[in-house]
Amino acid sequence: MNQEPLPAALAAYAGAGEQGAPYELLAEREDGTVVRCGEIVAKAHAGDSDREGLAVRMRIAADEALAGVLLAPLRPEVGYLGGRPVSLWPYGAPVDPERPEDAPWEAAGRLLAALHQVPVHRLPGPVPPMRGPAKLARALRRLARATAPGRAAGGGGAGPAGANGPVGVPAAGGAAGSAGPGGSRTGSALVPGPAEGRPAGDLVRAAARTLPAWVRGEAPAPRGGALCHGDLHLGQLVRGPGPDGGWRLIDVDDLGIGTPAWDLARPAAWYAAGLLDTGTWARFLDSYRAAGGPAAGPSGSDPWPELDLAARALTVQTAALALAKSVENHRRLDDVERLMVDSCARIATLPPDLEPQAPS
């Protein structure tokens, strides 16, 4: 591989070999490095990516059936840079994290509904499984490594609100009386009692044990389902290029067949934890239902029988990653992260869900 840093090498790749081309580093994580070079975005996917699955996902993103839903790549083929898979995309304007009031919740609902209704049999294939359960399994493994004997303890208490929370989500406040994961109704968005006096890592692992094995990525998922994004949050939406400039979903690394409720799970988990207010949750859910989305039941019905399992899974995943990072970085949990751990404390009191649930 070229000895220059990966972001610079990516910029050169995007600029067709123009060494020293100016670029902006958009993301650098263990699961991928992303740079912008002019109107082109280049992504180096994780080195351990399923390359065959990624190739299919790229062809799906370029398929006409997904026009107006997924941002289409500049090339449907996967390239390689130093042995890592690389993809090229047009630049799209992201959600502004400084203006959560402008977050496109209605657009997110419509896009997910359209994605979930795409005829899977007409897509390039074989369509791989959605990777939501695999991401939960990875988060739990990272938590196990971070909290293994011999590692410094940490992350068990609530610290100052050092983060603003997910894009488009306020750092505090919420829906008192909202439905929590597990279908229970709480009198407050934050129930402080269950998390006290017990290590946070134990609470998260106990919550994970209430989930079916397939949800934890330890068994095959039930057959069937719909085309799912697999990692929906507002950072996965951009205003696409072109005459309409409409919102599009990005990041196909986790795209595949699965239970569509998973794509609604993160907003549902935020709402249950009190991070998303009732009005915003209603806008998102109503938009999804009005567009024919199949994952939340008919309009006017209680969505939690459909969403509960996936919302619990995303709560566990979010809390596991937050705890792992707090230990790795020798810091305390912020208020948003502590809310997710407290949600895990409530989930841990539920009986194990032993029966696999078929995708909606």
Domain positions in the chain = 6-90, 100-347
Residue 198 pLDDT level (bands cut at 50, 70, 90): confident
Q: Residues 6-90: name the CATH superfamily.
A: Phosphorylase Kinase; domain 1 (3.30.200.20)
Residue 342 pLDDT level (bands cut at 50, 70, 90): very high
Other beta carbons within 10 angstroms of residue 164's beta carbon come to 16
Mean pLDDT of 51-67: 96
Selection from 181, 166, 203, 130 nearest residue 312 by Cα: 181
Q: Is the pTM of this model over 0.75?
A: yes
Residue 186 has pLDDT above 90, yes or no: no
Predicted pLDDT at 315: 97
Residue 143 has pLDDT above 90, yes or no: yes
Residue 236 has pLDDT above 70, yes or no: yes
Q: Which of 169-178, 243-252, 328-337 has the highest mean pLDDT?
A: 328-337
Predicted pLDDT at 19: 59
Do 299 and 286 form a contact (C-beta atoms < 8 A)? yes
Residue 48 pLDDT level (bands cut at 50, 70, 90): confident
Do 242 and 232 form a contact (C-beta atoms < 8 A)? no
- Rounded to whole angstroms, how far apart are CA atoms 240 and 250? 10
What the block records as the tokens of 230 is 């697999």
- Rounded to whole angstroms, how far apart are CA atoms 180 and 268? 9
For the domain spanning 100-347, the CATH number is: 3.90.1200.10
The 10s digit of each residue's pLDDT in 65-114 is 999 999 999 999 999 998 899 999 999 999 998 888 889 999 999 999 99
